[in-house]
Chain A
Amino acid sequence: NAGVTQTPKFQVLKTGQSMTLQCAQDMNHNSMYWYRQDPGMGLRLIYYSASEGTTDKGEVPNGYNVSRLNKREFSLRLESAAPSQTSVYFCATRTGTSPQHFGDGTRLSIL
């Protein structure tokens, strides 16, 4: 089925550990996005990539890095995880003027 696939679905980390959240899409969309969702905060944009080879900061980029590996894949890296980064992370894609299409999320807990 066409869509946005996020891996892993769940992860528990210790403070200071690093990890990469993966996002892959088979919708041939140009733009890809990373959001975090926290209780009472809605979704906040971390980074986005308007097209292959470009990335830009969103609203809350501190503590994160991204890589647009190719048109299909957009990864989010936490170099040194902190408890404040405990959240649900969503990847989304878009092309043209279409609405953003979301994956099912990665639930990340940092102890």
Chain B
Amino acid sequence: DQQVKQNSPSLSVQEGRISILNCDYTNSMFDYFLWYKKYPAEGPTFLISISSIKDKNEDGRFTVFLNKSAKHLSLHIVPSQPGDSAVYFCAARGIQGAQKLVFGQGTRLTINP
């Protein structure tokens, strides 16, 4: 069973517009969520995170929103830039399994000029 799901394998957005990447989870014990960005032939790099006690966290062009009742989080990128083209993974961590991250399948974001 997939505890963290990214239902959109790919997303295409025009440069300068907003990119919205979505992630759903099923385990109510998850209390910390992260987004990673991955370029081809490189490892994932940490982008932004949010604790379950918050509903929003912002870092420059990147904002993550958390809706605990819906078990849903989203990553907003505004404005989108060509360098944002990458695969984005959401990941979740629970208190009891704090060492373990559970990843979604990833969404490939393409920013078109």
Q: Chain A interface (Cβ within 8 Å of chain B)? A: 4, 31, 33, 35, 40-45, 48, 50, 56, 58-59, 90, 92, 99-105
Contacts and interface: CB of A to CB of B under 8 A. Distances in A.
Interface stretch (B52-60, B67-75, B98-106): B98-106
Contacts of B45: 102
Nearest to A98: B46
A30 to B, nearest CB: 10
Contacts, number: 49
Interface of B: 4, 6, 9, 34, 36, 41-46, 49, 89, 91, 99-106
Contacts of A42: 4, 6, 89, 103-106
Q: Describe B's contact surface by its main secondary structure.
A: loop
Contact of B34 (A40, A44, A99): A99
